[in-house]
């Protein structure tokens, strides 16, 4: 009969409607679970990015420190090697002038022997300040080791380099290095 057929179709529609509602509820719960998971993953990523930034900063600080002479605060031999290779590459590619100036403190051992190593260290620190004052902003000066300093003068021909070297020699010779009560004459 039509009424039993209608009842059967109504029951099937109710069943389908309930199944559809149940499916929507499951999908909504799955979406909520997925969103919660994404939020948790985003928080973890944010935390990891923060840690990565912190580690990169520490790594850069350590790299900077590894290229710095702890006594004079000038670039060290490793920094010199990097810059020297860079300037040598530029010289080879562009054929531009580059000059290397070597500075050695005369009789430095006698300063250490006579006044002590702390005084010798203070002299090296003062010498570093004197040398830095004579450099252009794109020159690089480094403490190569002991009482030896190297200066790379990019875009500097031999005549200018001789002038710079003589100016440094003269400045150091005319400067009185004062450490405590001691006045120390230094030549390079």
Q: What is the pLDDT along the chain (188 residues), one digit of tens a residue?
A: 788 888 888 888 899 999 999 999 999 999 999 999 999 999 999 999 999 999 999 888 887 788 899 999 999 999 999 999 988 888 888 888 889 999 999 999 999 999 999 999 999 999 999 999 888 888 999 999 999 999 999 988 999 999 999 999 999 999 999 999 999 999 99
Instruction: Give the pLDDT score at 91.
Output: 85
| Residues 6+ positions from 95 with CB-CB distance below 8 Å | none
Instruction: Give the pLDDT score at 42.
Output: 93
Q: Rounded to whole angstroms, what are the CA distances from 143 to 14, 48, 53, 160? A: 88, 39, 31, 22
Both tokens of 185, joined, read: 């004459």
Instruction: Give the pLDDT score at 4.
Output: 84
Instruction: Give the pLDDT score at 159.
Output: 93
In 3D space, the residue among 153, 150, 129, 128 whose CA is nearest the CA of residue 141 turns out to be: 150
Three-state SS for 99? strand
| Residues 6+ positions from 167 with CB-CB distance below 8 Å | 134
Q: Residue 147 catalytic?
A: yes
Q: Which of 49, 61, 82, 147 is catalytic?
A: 147
Q: pTM of the prediction?
A: 0.68
Instruction: Give the pLDDT score at 138.
Output: 87
CA 157/CA 126 separation, integer angstroms? 28
Instruction: Give the pLDDT score at 62.
Output: 83
CA 66/CA 160 separation, integer angstroms? 32
In 3D space, the residue among 143, 102, 137 whose CA is nearest the CA of residue 121 turns out to be: 143
Instruction: Give the pLDDT score at 43.
Output: 93
Decide if 135 contacts 151 (C-beta within 8 A): yes
């Amino acid at each position: 009969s039509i009424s039993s057929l209608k009842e059967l179709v109504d029951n099937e529609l109710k069943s389908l409607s309930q199944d559809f509602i149940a499916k929507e509820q499951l999908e909504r719960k799955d979406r909520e679970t997925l969103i919660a998971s994404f939020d948790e993953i985003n928080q973890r990523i944010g935390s990891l990015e923060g840690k990565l930034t912190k580690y990169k900063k520490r790594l850069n600080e350590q790299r900077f420190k590894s290229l710095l002479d702890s006594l004079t605060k000038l670039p060290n031999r490793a920094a010199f090697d990097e810059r020297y290779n860079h300037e040598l590459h530029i010289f080879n590619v562009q054929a531009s002038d580059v000059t290397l100036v070597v500075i050695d403190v005369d009789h430095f051992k006698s300063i250490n022997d006579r006044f002590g190593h702390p005084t010798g260290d203070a002299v090296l620190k003062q010498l570093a300040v004197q040398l830095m004052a004579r450099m252009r902003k794109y020159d690089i000066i480094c403490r190569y080791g002991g009482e030896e300093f190297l200066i790379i003068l990019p875009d500097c021909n031999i005549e200018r380099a001789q002038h710079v070297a003589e100016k440094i020699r003269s400045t150091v010779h005319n400067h009185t290095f004062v450490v405590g009560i001691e006045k120390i004459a230094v030549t390079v």
